Amino acid sequence: MNEISLNHYLFVSCALFFIGVYGFLTRRNLITMLMAIELILNSININFIVFNKFLFPDKLDGLFFTIFIITIAAAEAAVAIAIIINLYRNYKTIDVEETNTMKF
């Protein structure tokens, strides 16, 4: 029990993933929800890297995939912030439950 194994990493990643999902489901503030999404993506990044390191150490595929995810997540976040700002201008709020003009 003196070495950190694959399973330990996976536990962390799994916990992060579900914390992210939980936050996404329960929070009403859009910025917090955005953070929850980042948590989910980061848990996946951890997955990729530990799989790469522990199971397939001869290539760096997983690592590169992670870099792509980080890049694209940044792009997504940029768009998200733009949308949230626009929403704030229109609704004067960033509470997700206020946005329900369309239903049924």
Partner 1 sequence: MKAIIAATIIGVIMMFASILSNNKSGIVSLATVLFFFLFGINIWEVYESINATGVAAPAYLNNMMSLDSFAIWFSMLMSGCALLYILLLGKEIAKVGKHVGEYFALIAFIMVGIYLLAGYSNMLMLFIGIEILSIPQYILAGSDKRNLKSTEASLKYFLMGSFSTGILLMGIAMLYGATGSFDIINFRMLQTDALNPLALSGILFLIIGLGFKVSAAPMHMWTPDVYDGSPTPFTAFMSTIVKAGVFVAFLRLFHASFGNLTNHWMMIVAVITATTLFIGNITAVFQQSVKRMLAYSSIAQAGFMLFAILSVNATAWQGIVIYAVAYSVATIGMFAVLIKLKDYTYDGFNGLAKKEPALAFFTTIFLMSLAGIPLTGGFMAKYFVLLAAVQQGQVMWLVIFALIMAAVSVYYYFKVIIAMYFKTGEAELNHEVTGYDKLMLGITCLLVILIGLMPQLLLNL
Partner 2 sequence: MTMTNLVYLIPLFPLIGFLINGIGWRTIPKSVGGLIGSITVLASFVVSLGIFFEVKSTGASSTIVLFDFIQSGKLNIPFAFQVDSLSVTFLLIITGIGFLIHVYSTSYMHEDEGMVKYFAYLNLFIFSMLLLVLGANYLVMFIGWEGVGLCSYLLIGFWFKNRDYTNAAKKAFIMNRIGDLGFLIGMLLILFHFGTLSYQDFFGQLKSGATANPSMYNWIAICLFIGAMGKSAQIPLYTWLPDAMAGPTPVSALIHAATMVTAGIYMIARSSALYNLAPDALTFVAWIGCITALIAATIAIKQYDIKKVLAYSTVSQLGFMFMALGMGAYTTAVFHVMTHAFFKALLFLGSGSVIHAMGGEQDIRKMGGLGKKMKVTQITFLIGCLAIAGIPGFSGFFSKDEILAATFEHNKAIYALGLFGAMMTAFYMFRLYTLTFTGTFRGTHDQEHHLHESPAAMTFPLIILAILSVFGGYIGLPAVISETHTLRNFLSTSVSNIAHEEMAHNTEWMLLGISTAIAVVFSIIGVAVHRKPNFVANTGLSKVFENKWYVDELYDTIIVRPLNALSDMLDRFVEKMGIDGIVNGIGKLVRFGGDRVRLLQTGQVGFYIFVMVIGITILFALSFFWIR
Which residues are near partner 2 by CB under 8 A? Answer: 21, 24-26, 28, 96-97, 99-104
Phi-psi region of 93 (alpha: psi -120 to 50; beta: other; left: phi over 0): beta
Q: Which residues pair with 29 in a beta bridge?
A: 95
48 binds, among partner 2, partner 1, none (CB under 5 to 8 A by kind): partner 1
Asked if residue 87 binds partner 1 (CB under 8 A), the reply is yes
Number of residues that bind partner 1 (CB under 8 A): 40
Residue that has been written with the tokens 């917090």 in this structure: 32
Closest CB 39 distance from partner 2, rounded Å: 14
Helices (H), the chain: 6-26, 30-50, 61-91
User: And the tokens for 3?
Assistant: 């070495």
Specify the residue, 2 or 63, whose C-beta has the smaller distance to partner 1.
63
| Residue 60 DSSP class | -
Q: Distance between CA atoms of 67 and 98, rounded to whole angstroms?
A: 35
Kindly list the residues in this chain that would bind partner 1 in the complex (CB under 8 A): 17, 20, 24, 30, 33, 37, 40-41, 44, 47-48, 51-52, 55-56, 59, 61-62, 64-65, 68-69, 72, 75-76, 79-80, 82-84, 86-87, 90-91, 96, 99-103
